[in-house]
Amino acid sequence: MIKKFDLTGLVATQYFQFLMRLMKIIDDADPTKLNIILRVNPLKIFVAKLSKVVKQDQAYEETKEIKELEDDRDDAIKGYVGYVKSMTRSKKPAVKAAAKFLLNYLNNLSKHIYAEDYSSESAILNKIYQDYLTNTEIKAAIIAIGAQDWLTQINDSNVAFEAKYQERTVEIAEDETEESFTDLRQPSKEAYYALISIINSRYDVAVYENQDTTEYLNLINNINALIIQTEQIIAATKPKKGAGKKPPTDPPVDPGV
């Protein structure tokens, strides 16, 4: 029989990982052959929904990465503009003239490129780099003041930002859901207990009818091993007495197993 296991003690990450590993065990056991598929599918749907919520939670870290990439390209354009301005004070007439030409060119694009919205800044930085590649007058001026490395930095940082920003935009569009982890937790627990109940019942029937129980026993043993391992993780991460308050958990639920 499968051990009774109250999912209440699991924090969100432990809860999700437990169900993910459980579904792998179930899929490997061929749920259709074991005649438990009707209870597997509802839980599988909840696990898929939980996966989307987890992705949205992870989006915070990805947003931080986007902000860092945005800062990188802002630093690049600020550095380039600052360098061009410094070259307008050059004692060499040709360098000074080239710098003044480039500064006027940049000001015509935007007085504060780094303060533009994401899309506008991307477009402006792309134009700056493309003009460097294709406009002979602009390229000559950049070479005259020795700013080629700044243009490479601008392009590299802008490309990196755009790639990550577009990737994140697509993920948000694909994964957006109004359901929270809390919303999904209770019904997914009920689906879990229903699945465990039918596995135990199918095993009991097989024993009663003298059928081969090998595959049921393998499944039960694998699930019990997962439960034992998860219990050990909970025990290892449980705050010791006096170490602080425990994180809030769900109200106790009768496992029904």
> Is 72 inside a domain boundary?
yes
14-58 confidence digits (pLDDT tens) = 888 889 889 999 999 999 999 999 999 999 888 888 877 766 555
Write down the residue that tokens 């990196």 correspond to: 160
Query: 56 and 183 in contact (C-beta within 8 Å)?
Result: no
Give pLDDT, residue 240: 55
116 and 151 co-located in one domain: yes
22 and 70 co-located in one domain: no
CA distance 22 to 12: 15
215-245 confidence digits (pLDDT tens) = 999 999 999 999 998 888 777 666 555 554 4
Considering only CA atoms, which of 24, 2, 36, 19 is closest in space to residue 185? 19
Considering only CA atoms, which of 238, 237, 228, 250 is closest in space to residue 4? 228
What is the secondary structure of 221-246 as a DSSP string? HHHHHHHHHHHHHHHHHSPPTTS-PP
Report if pTM > 0.75: no
> Is 242 inside a domain boundary?
no
143 and 99 co-located in one domain: yes
CA distance 145 to 130: 18
> Is 254 inside a domain boundary?
no
Give pLDDT, residue 257: 37
Give pLDDT, residue 221: 94
Domain count, the chain: 2
CA distance 221 to 74: 56
Domain limits at 43? 7-58+180-237
Please say which residue of 175, 203, 228 terminates a domain: 175
> Is 243 inside a domain boundary?
no
88 and 68 co-located in one domain: yes
CA distance 195 to 225: 17
Question: Which residues of the chain fall short of a pLDDT of 50?
Answer: 172-177, 244-257
66 and 114 co-located in one domain: yes
Token pair of 131, please? 């003009």
Write down the residue that tokens 């209770």 correspond to: 186
Find the length of the chain: 257
CA distance 162 to 123: 10
